[in-house]
Structure 1
Amino acid sequence: MARKKKISPLRIAALVAIALLIALGVWAWQRWTPFRPIAATTSTELALPAQTAAGVSATSGVSVQVSGKLQIPEPPRDAQLGVSATDAAVLLRSVAMYQWQEHCDSSGCRYDTEWSAQPVDSNKFRAPGGHKNPQAPFADARFVAGDVRLRELSVDPELVAAQHPAIDYPVKANALPPNLAATFSVVDGVLYAGGDAAHPKVGTLRISYRIVPGGEVSLSGVRHGSKLEAR
């Protein structure tokens, strides 16, 4: 019977040393090789897909930014007072009334007349007699344009208002309908009824307007088909 050939201890030690050297080399390569992460797509790239020839993304359901001139064929209008704004996405009406105000402290109550944008309930005064506030016939209101468009996109007017500040909109006397022109006076673009700016009395109304203008805009939103809406 053939005798088994024994591996010498020296040879075993050499093989172990070689294995250790190989393992050490792999570890060193992994430790010192610079990490190269996969390039991440930026949020801008995700938000702004490829543009069509008209300059507006054809992709739906993604964030876009679109610039251009608003088209407003149906401007906002306050039908109650006949006031409209020809180149605006939103028309804002602000109403104040000259009213009695009660100011009470430990020494008692005093009553002064002031402009107030909020109704003051004079029935809750400690001494309501002689300090009666009438009810205002109008309140603050917000009117939006119809069919606002930016290039081929239909735009929510409130999206325009959220990204562009409102500005004062002085009313011209000749813009009022004849029946309202007989009731309201116009001072510095503001409407007054039941008194004037210099000599108001309890119940005098002061109505002013602001608009979110049209013109050239840059809007950020989410496109859904042919609509541009808020994020």
Structure 2
Amino acid sequence: MSNDSFTEVTSQSYFQRIGGAFKGIVIGIILILVSCVLLFWNEGRAVKRYKTLVEGSKTVISVAADSVDASHEQQLVHLTGMATSDETLTDQELGVSAASVIMLRRTSTMFQWQEKSSTKTEKKLGGSEQQTTTYTYSKVWTEQLIDSSSFKKTEGHQNPANMPFKSRQLTSRQVSVGSFFLSPSLISNITNYEPLTVDGNLALPSGWSGRGQVMNDGFYLGTDPANPQVGDVRISYQVVKPLEVSVIAKQAGDHLQPYQAQAGDAIELLELGVHDAQAMFEQEQQSNTILTWMLRAGGFFLMFIGISMILKPLSVLADVIPAVGSLIETGTGLIAFLLAGILSSLIIAVAWFVFRPLIAILALSLAGGLIFLVVKKLKKGKPIQGASAVQPPPLP
């Protein structure tokens, strides 16, 4: 694929940089506040989800999927079976149909120009800063329309103003597992797509006759698939066919719906394949743990960026001599990292006292006990005061 590049050199004066750094303090404060809210909320979310899953694992009942037992009405049930649908899904725009499938997805990509940029910053004596930005242009297949009017260099890199066909997904309204019908949210978790072979006798879309072709997996709207041009479109189809699934949800008549636990969260799980109830709950607990640590990391990162922005004026002011400014920037970066770690830990600790006080007290007691043992050990290792004045008798 062809590509080219364009380089632009810009500069900022010392006073412009100072002004920008002080304006960044406001953004830094906002980021710190957002981080605090995120970290505190995440601990509450994690505890509620954990307690909900524990509650569900103790109350869930495994049932047969081939019949509805009224005695389990409104209870949390677990079942396995084939997820099937009797519907025929049709892409009305292009006439592609698939019978007895759960989902039909149309993927439409257009060959377009894409702009990427990389910037190299160089500090100058006196505090100014020079930025050299290189813009690279290449042609790519992408589902999203790229607005070329925002490119730095628009000449020779124009994309079409719109895409003739966009990607879309069709979902069966009724999907059943045995005698039970799945809720829309459960159906959305069935994503085992596989390619759909398109009928070669289908007509090309209106206006594309003579400059496109029907292919096994869809349509190619353009002159030559081996030599794509900007504006060419590829359309392919995938389907989700009937497959075996395991479900945990509330039995409401012959429908499976979200189960509201007393712990405060809802339970509605679906996994592909055959899994027992406890394995599904263990998998969900692992997912909850991973999400909790990802959000903790996100909160820490926001805190670090916020503190870094607040401390930024210090390094900018010292950039009159670039080497000094770089040294201070490294120092403030380390300080921001340490402060972010301390503040994030404090917020999480406060959240633990609110949402899981018993564990917080136990953890604090354990930490206190360890500190006591360390201090006691250090005291035992100290020399006795005045001992140095008592000397052993000289050897003969």
TM beyond 0.5: yes
* Greater helix fraction, Structure 1 or Structure 2: 2
Listed as ranges, the gaps of 5+ residues in structure 1 are 1-41
Q: Which residue matches 1:153?
A: 180
Separation of aligned partners in 2, 1:187 and 1:92: 16
Deviations 1:62-102 (A, max 9, x none): 22223333442223322222222223212222221100122
User: Residues 195 and 205 of structure 1 are in contact (CA less than 8 Å); yes or no, is this contact kept in structure 2?
Assistant: no
Structure number, greater radius of gyration: 1
1:141 is aligned with what amino acid?
A: R
Kept in 2: contact 1:67–1:218 (CA 8 A): yes
Question: 2 CA distance for matches of 1:93 and 1:229?
Answer: 28
Shift in CA distance, 216/208, structure 1 to aligned 2, threshold 3 Å: same
2:141 is matched with 115
2:236 counterpart of 1:223: no
Contact 1:76–1:85, Cα closer than 8 Å, also in 2: yes
Supply the distance in 1 between the matched residues of 2:150 and 2:173 (Cα, whole angstroms): 42
Superposition map of 1:1-231 within 5 A: 46-48=59-61, 54-58=66-70, 59-105=72-118, 106=132, 108-134=134-160, 135-156=162-183, 158-162=185-189, 164-174=190-200, 176=202, 178-180=203-205, 182=209, 184-230=212-258, 231=268
| Displacement after TM superposition at 1:49 (Å) | 6.1
What is the TM-score with the length of structure 1 in the denominator? Answer: 0.67
The aligned amino acid for 2:176 is R
Q: Please give the TM-score of this superposition, normalised by the length of structure 2.
A: 0.41
CA separation of 1:224 and 1:79: change in aligned 2, threshold 3 A: same
CA distance in 1, matches of 2:59, 2:229: 59
Question: What is the deviation of 1:179?
Answer: 4.7
> What secondary structure sits across from 2:76 in the alignment?
strand
Q: Which runs of 5+ in 2 are unaligned?
A: 1-54, 119-131, 259-267, 269-396
- Does the CA contact (< 8 Å) of 1:90 and 1:161 recur in 2? no
Aligned-pair distance for 1:201? 0.7
Letter in 2 for 1:74: E
Q: How far apart in 2 are the matches of 1:69 and 1:123?
A: 50
Q: Give the letter aligned to residue 138 of structure 2.
A: D
C-alpha separation between the residues in 2 aligned to 1:100 and 1:217? Answer: 42
Q: CA RMSD in A?
A: 3.1
Which amino acid in structure 1 is aligned with residue 182 of structure 2? Answer: V
Alpha carbons of structure 1 residues 173 and 184: separation in structure 2 relative to 1, 3 Å: farther
Inter-CA distance 50–64: structure 2 relative to 1 (3 Å threshold):
closer
